[in-house]
């Protein structure tokens, strides 16, 4: 999602800072979109993240999209202390850190801003084998609400995007074979009234662009469901 979103924003002539801890991904993105500013960074490192972004991001910030996430252990009884810290650092703590940095820049310049937190349908309707992921996404949705209240007086909007399944690297690792994918579709399809188990990446990108477009400036402190009806079923 982040790769596709960065490309689309670049096509719209935005100045894009793309943050990743994977050098190959940044090189590929830079090859397709030479104007993008690649930032190689492990956002789990609080201090290094602050030092890097404070140095590199010198232009006013209008939009921040917090997209990074890892799934963590699938089963509740398999979660270790190390797992908990690793997943929390990336899925939640980094959002606090980077949002503080970018919101501070928005406040300093007096510009209207939008912060988009990429959440999940699992924050609203969790199921088995996603204990860490769903609980931290639920915490992220609560953080979105709190941030919107505190940052609203500074003309900063904060919105969660609660997406359904997307065909990203996270899901492909979980379903490595064609048989795995067919079994997954057979199991999950009845849960989606729309019949669409997967949210197309393009639709996810378009929904984010709409929320940040200036067409819905009254939208803040809420979650936007793009999930094929999963949470309504």
Q: Tell me which of 133, 165, 198, 230 is the catalytic residue.
A: 133
String of b and e for 73-111 (b: at least 16 CB within 10 Å)?
beeeeeeeeeeeebbbbbbbbbbebbbebbbebbeeeee
Instruction: Give me the pLDDT at residue 99, please.
Output: 99
**In this predicted structure, which of 111-125, 162-176, 209-223 has the lowest mean pLDDT?**
162-176
Q: Which two tokens stand for residue 48?
A: 């290094």
Question: What does 166-211 look like in DSSP terms, one character per residue?
Answer: --SHHHHHH--SHHHHHHHHHHHGGG-TTS--BPPHHHHHHHHHHH
Please report the sign of the dihedral spanned by the C-alpha atoms of residue 154, residue 90, residue 77, residue 227: positive
pLDDT band at 60; cut points 50, 70, 90: very high
Instruction: Give me the pLDDT at residue 174, please.
Output: 86
Query: Rounded distance, CA 75 to CA 211, Å?
Result: 34
Domain boundary assignment for the chain: 41-232
122 as an active site residue: the answer is no
Nearest to 92 by CA among 118, 114, 53, 124: 118
Cβ-in-10-Å burial (0-12, 13-18, 19+) of 222 comes to middle
169 has a pLDDT exceeding 90? no
CATH class in words for 41-232? alpha beta
For 12-58, what is each residue's pLDDT tens digit? Answer: 999 999 999 999 999 999 999 999 999 999 999 999 999 999 999 98
């Amino acid at each position: 999602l982040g790769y596709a979103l960065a490309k689309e924003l670049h096509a719209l002539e935005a100045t894009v800072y793309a943050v990743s801890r994977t050098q190959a991904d940044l090189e590929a993105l830079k090859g397709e979109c030479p104007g993008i500013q690649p930032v190689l960074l492990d956002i789990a490192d609080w201090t290094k993240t602050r030092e890097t972004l404070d140095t590199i991001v010198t232009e006013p910030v209008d939009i921040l999209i917090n997209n990074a996430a890892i799934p963590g252990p699938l089963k509740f009884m398999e979660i270790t202390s190390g797992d908990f810290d690793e997943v929390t650092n990336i899925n939640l703590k980094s959002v606090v850190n980077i949002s503080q940095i970018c919101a501070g820049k928005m406040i300093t310049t007096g510009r209207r801003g939008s912060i988009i937190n990429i959440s999940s349908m699992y924050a609203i309707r969790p199921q088995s084998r996603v204990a860490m992921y769903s609980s931290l996404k639920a915490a992220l949705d609560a953080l979105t609400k709190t941030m919107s209240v505190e940052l609203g007086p500074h003309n900063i909007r904060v919105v969660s995007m609660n997406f359904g399944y997307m065909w990203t690297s996270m899901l492909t690792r979980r379903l490595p074979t064609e048989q795995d994918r067919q079994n997954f579709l057979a199991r999950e399809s009845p849960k989606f009234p729309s019949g669409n188990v997967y949210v197309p990446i393009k639709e996810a990108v378009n929904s984010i662009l709409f929320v940040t477009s200036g067409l819905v400036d009254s939208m803040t402190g809420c979650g936007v469901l793009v999930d094929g009806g999963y949470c309504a079923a």
